[in-house]
């Protein structure tokens, strides 16, 4: 049977008190609506309709072609929002998930179980519910003796008996698609808010003698709808715990999960160890047997097996197998390190390739460069890549040696096996196996230091007189 999804993402989110549209607020590095859309796609929904309103352009810009869109120009309630999708999917046969774009903690496993129950009962609708010790503020799910749902009652409308019910409506549903849109046509706005509520569909289906079921999630965090910064923080905490637990189950050692931040899209191989104070975000992939941290910050980077990163920052960088980075290194976008490369303390690399076995051990800047295999770059050496107007490339070929405090003025090329003497400023290319030296010959002036001191003393005496 065809599976469809309607994601409600049209609300303004005034309680967030933010210039950023609510469903675009990130949880573990990914906007909430991104989490929700990924989840419905994981359960094989063939069409995903996102209902947009406030901030429509921003939401569409983020989601791109991964969804279809309908516009709710006026926010007249959840029922009205779903009804906007009728022109796209109203004639489809199948099961439709309706889910809010601010519920990032709903899992694909739960949605799958919700749909399986829905289909096994041949239900017109199935509600995702949760049991809460303190259900205040949530709509209560009222069941018949046979377990079917007969009503969803909002907190303000509860009788004392209904108020004692601990099963709450999470706002996520499965519907028989045809019956959903038939019932939506019967929903009215005869209420204090003059809005069309999706929950009214449940009552309409029950009155039509249709079966409405409920699936109880065992994780109450899935019921969190993020409406303010407090709920956003709570969702972040739950998501972080899920992510670190998933990685640990898959064979990753996380020394202190409470002080480790791992984004939702990060991939980490088995037997990798993550030390405290580490942030791994974006679409980062880390291989097996790596050592990351303490104090590492890695974003949108790819690390192969057996990589070590300590007290360093990597952004859109790549590191080959057996490479070590840090402490206190900064790999900027475009950095590509081969296998068994060493990048040491206080080294900055930008838009540069270092091939297998090369070393930049300390206090160097390598920018806009192509460095070959087994190259040694000494302390304080830099590629001078910018003349104030243009950036140029430095090339250093295999087995070259760059001495300490060397300035390579780009564009320049150092050939295979060439040797650049410490302290040189190189403005012309160096051929294979040549030695380059570019500094004045040392001259020692006998006794001259005493003359300098005497002049200084005499000047100070004159000033005092």
Binding positions for UDP-N-acetyl-alpha-D-glucosamine are 8-11, 22, 72, 77-78, 139, 154, 169, 227, 332, 350, 365, 376
* Exposure on the CB side of residue 312, measured as CA atoms within 13 A: 26
| Catalytic member of 35, 80, 362, 428 | 362
Distance of alpha carbon 165 from alpha carbon 185, whole angstroms: 30
Distance of alpha carbon 397 from alpha carbon 360, whole angstroms: 14
State yes or no: is 311 an active-site residue.
Answer: no
Distance of alpha carbon 261 from alpha carbon 97, whole angstroms: 31
Instruction: Take residue 102 and report the two structure tokens written for it.
Output: 């601010």
**For residue 294, cis peptide bond before it (omega within 30 degrees of 0):** yes
Distance of alpha carbon 141 from alpha carbon 214, whole angstroms: 9
Beta bridge partners of 50: 7, 69
Binding residues for Mg(2+): 102, 227
DSSP per residue over 195-211, as a string?
---THHHHHHHHHTT--
Instruction: Take residue 113 and report the two structure tokens written for it.
Output: 């179980």
Distance of alpha carbon 287 from alpha carbon 198, whole angstroms: 46
Distance of alpha carbon 103 from alpha carbon 14, whole angstroms: 16
Distance of alpha carbon 316 from alpha carbon 300, whole angstroms: 5
| Kind of pairing between the strands at 401-402 and 419-420 | parallel
Binding residues: 8-11, 22, 72, 77-78, 102, 139, 154, 169, 227, 332, 350, 365, 376, 385-386, 404, 422, 439
| Phi, psi for 241 (deg, rounded to 5) | -65, -40
Distance of alpha carbon 283 from alpha carbon 298, whole angstroms: 10
Binding residues for acetyl-CoA: 385-386, 404, 422, 439
**Residues 6 or more apart in contact with residue 36 via CB below 8 angstroms:** 7, 23, 99, 100, 101, 103, 104, 106
Distance of alpha carbon 256 from alpha carbon 265, whole angstroms: 20
Residues in the chain, overall count: 465
Say if CB 102 and CB 96 are below 8 A apart. Answer: no
| HEC letters along 301-312 | CEECCCCEECCC
Using CB atoms within 10 Å of the CB of residue 113, give its burial: 0 to 12 exposed, 13 to 18 middle, 19+ buried: middle
Catalytically active residues are 362
């Amino acid at each position: 049977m065809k599976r469809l999804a309607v994601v409600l993402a049209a609300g303004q989110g005034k309680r967030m008190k933010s210039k950023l549209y609510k469903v675009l607020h990130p949880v573990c590095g990914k906007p909430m609506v991104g989490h929700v859309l990924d989840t419905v796609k994981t359960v094989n929904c063939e069409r995903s309709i996102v209902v947009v309103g406030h901030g429509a352009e921003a939401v569409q810009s983020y989601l791109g072609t991964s969804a279809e869109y309908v516009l709710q120009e006026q926010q007249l309630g959840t029922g009205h929002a779903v009804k906007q999708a009728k022109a796209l999917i109203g004639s489809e046969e199948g099961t439709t998930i309706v889910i809010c774009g601010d519920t990032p903690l709903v899992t694909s496993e739960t949605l799958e179980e919700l749909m399986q129950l829905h289909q096994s009962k041949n239900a017109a609708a199935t509600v995702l519910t949760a049991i809460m010790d303190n259900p205040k503020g949530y709509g209560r799910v009222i069941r018949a003796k046979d377990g079917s749902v007969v009503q969803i009652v909002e907190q303000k409308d509860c009788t004392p008996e209904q108020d004692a019910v601990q099963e709450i409506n999470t706002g996520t549903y499965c519907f028989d698609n045809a019956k959903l849109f038939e019932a939506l046509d019967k929903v009215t706005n005869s209420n204090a808010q003059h809005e069309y509520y999706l929950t009214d569909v449940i009552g309409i289906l029950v009155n039509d003698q249709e079966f409405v079921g409920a699936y109880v999630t065992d994780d109450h965090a899935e019921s969190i709808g993020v409406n303010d910064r407090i709920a956003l923080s709570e969702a972040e905490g739950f998501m972080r715990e899920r992510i670190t637990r998933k990685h640990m189950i898959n064979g990753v050692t996380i020394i202190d999960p409470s002080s480790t931040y791992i984004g939702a899209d990060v991939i980490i191989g088995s037997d990798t160890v993550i030390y405290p104070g580490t942030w791994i975000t974006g679409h980062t992939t880390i291989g097996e047997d790596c050592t990351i941290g303490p104090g590492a910050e890695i974003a949108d980077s790819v690390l192969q097996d057996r990589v070590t990163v300590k007290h360093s920052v990597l952004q859109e960088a790549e590191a080959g197998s057996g490479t070590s980075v840090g402490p206190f290194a900064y790999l900027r976008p475009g950095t590509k390190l081969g296998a068994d490369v060493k990048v040491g303390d206080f080294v900055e690399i930008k838009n540069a390739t270092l091939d297998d076995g090369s070393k930049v051990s300390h206090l160097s800047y390598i920018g806009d460069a192509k460095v070959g295999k087994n190259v040694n770059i000494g302390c304080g050496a830099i590629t001078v890549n910018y003349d104030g107007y243009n950036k140029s490339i430095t090339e250093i070929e295999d087995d070259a040696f760059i001495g300490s405090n060397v300035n390579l003025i780009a564009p320049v090329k150092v050939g295979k096996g060439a040797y650049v003497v410490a302290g040189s400023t190189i403005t012309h290319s160096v051929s294979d196996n040549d030695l380059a030296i570019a500094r004045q010959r040392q001259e020692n002036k006998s006794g001259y230091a005493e003359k300098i001191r005497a002049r200084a003393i005499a000047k100070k005496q004159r000033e005092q007189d």
